[in-house]
């Protein structure tokens, strides 16, 4: 694999076309359906004159459609920029201007905030099926707006772009809590170094199911998405509104038979506090990965005691260099 779009192609080559690829609680996409959706969004992006190296914002809640858009961006050699869906329009504008977004994938609700403001030179793709109000669109002066209905009319056929591994794959912006948000540029080579490691290390089988707990503008989500799709497994998208509601998390893991979990330590601690017998309730959960926060030794000992036979990975990451020091915790010393 040389670029990110190769990851899905690898999974597509080994998975049954009807096998589940992604689920968001509302829609389920098989590998065949996701492949078609990626092709259609790729064509629409190309028709909007989004070219290799252009930036495309993802200001949208996690969903099967949004994931198809993310993967479509990499397919045409463009650069995706995940944006916190909770960000107000003004903060989105800071990011849009900073990296010169050529298009933004968003929802009709979020798009309405742009319709009330001065026009911007940026195309919009809406993951909703409802058509945009014609008068609202005409008054906005926006470059171009496509809905999911428009995307469905597009062809899924598109020539593959030649992209070098050292070209940018995506940009992750910091929260901006200490000032202006800063973009961290990740190349295909950078991202694949971690993805290839995770695929080899986890040795996931076709019986595994990944949960996607982290927001897409956090780099933890890279393992969930590409680690699953790269081996023909399924990834199950967790609604960000319930990401820290322990009973909802436990219900999610049980309902979707999640076997591989990756999150910040606080999410695991909340679940264990709510259900000390979590390992009994979710016996299929055999791999727990955590990063982003320090895991106190006392809490870590409780996790190991609860999941005596599970694999525990503590991933310490360096955001700028995209390296990780990974410790496999088979026992506590």
- Weakest mean pLDDT among 58-62, 107-111, 178-182, 190-194: 178-182
Helix (H) or strand (E) holding 145: strand 144-146
Ranges for all domains in the chain classified under CATH 3.40.50.980: 20-163, 189-329
- Weakest mean pLDDT among 104-113, 137-146, 158-167, 311-320: 137-146
- Asked whether the beta carbons of 163 and 52 are under 8 A apart, the reply is yes
- Asked whether the beta carbons of 167 and 190 are under 8 A apart, the reply is no
Q: How confident is the model at residue 322 (pLDDT cuts 50, 70, 90)?
A: very low
Yes or no: is domain 189-329 CATH 3.30.360.10? no
**In 10 A of CB 36, how many CB atoms?**
15
> Which is more confidently placed, 138 or 323?
323
Query: Torsion angle of alpha carbons 31, 32, 35, 36, nearest 10°?
Result: -150
Instruction: Provide the token pair at 234.
Output: 């399924």
Confidence check: pLDDT of 133 > 80:
no
Q: How far apart are the first and last CA of the chain?
A: 38
* pLDDT tens digit sequence for 15-51: 999 999 999 999 999 999 999 999 999 999 999 999 9
Q: Structurally, what CATH architecture does the domain formed by 20-163 represent?
A: 3-Layer(aba) Sandwich (3.40)
């Amino acid at each position: 694999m040389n670029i990110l779009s190769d990851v899905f192609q690898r999974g597509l080559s080994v998975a049954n076309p009807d096998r589940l690829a992604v689920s968001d609680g509302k829609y389920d996409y098989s590998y065949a359906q996701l492949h078609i959706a990626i092709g259609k969004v790729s064509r629409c992006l190309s028709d909007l004159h989004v070219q290799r190296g252009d930036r495309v914002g993802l200001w949208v809640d996690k969903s099967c459609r949004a994931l198809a858009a993310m993967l479509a961006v990499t397919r045409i050699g463009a650069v995706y920029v995940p944006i916190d869906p909770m960000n107000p329009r003004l903060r989105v504008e800071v990011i849009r201007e900073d990296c010169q977004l050529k298009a933004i994938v968003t929802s009709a609700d979020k798009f309405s905030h742009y319709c009330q403001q001065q026009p911007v030179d940026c195309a919009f793709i809406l993951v909703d099926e409802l058509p945009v109000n014609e008068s609202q669109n005409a008054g906005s002066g926006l470059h171009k707006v496509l809905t999911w209905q428009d995307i469905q009319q597009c062809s899924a056929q598109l020539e593959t772009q030649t992209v070098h591994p050292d070209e940018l794959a995506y940009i992750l912006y910091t929260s901006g809590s200490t000032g202006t948000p800063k973009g961290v540029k990740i190349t295909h080579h950078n991202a694949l170094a971690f993805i290839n490691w995770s695929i080899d290390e986890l040795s996931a089988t076709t019986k595994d199911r990944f949960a996607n707990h982290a927001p897409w503008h956090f780099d933890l989500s890279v393992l969930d998405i590409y680690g699953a799709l790269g081996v023909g497994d399924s990834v199950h998208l967790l609604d960000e509104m319930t990401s820290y509601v322990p009973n909802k998390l436990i219900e999610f893991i049980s309902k979707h038979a999640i076997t591989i979990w990756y999150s910040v330590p606080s999410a695991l601690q909340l679940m264990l506090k709510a259900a000390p017998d979590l390992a009994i309730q979710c016996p299929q959960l055999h791999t727990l990965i955590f990063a982003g926060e320090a895991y106190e030794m006392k809490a870590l000992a409780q996790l190991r005691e609860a999941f005596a036979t599970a694999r525990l990975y503590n991933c310490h990451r360096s955001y700028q260099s995209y390296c990780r020091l990974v410790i496999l915790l088979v026992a506590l010393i």
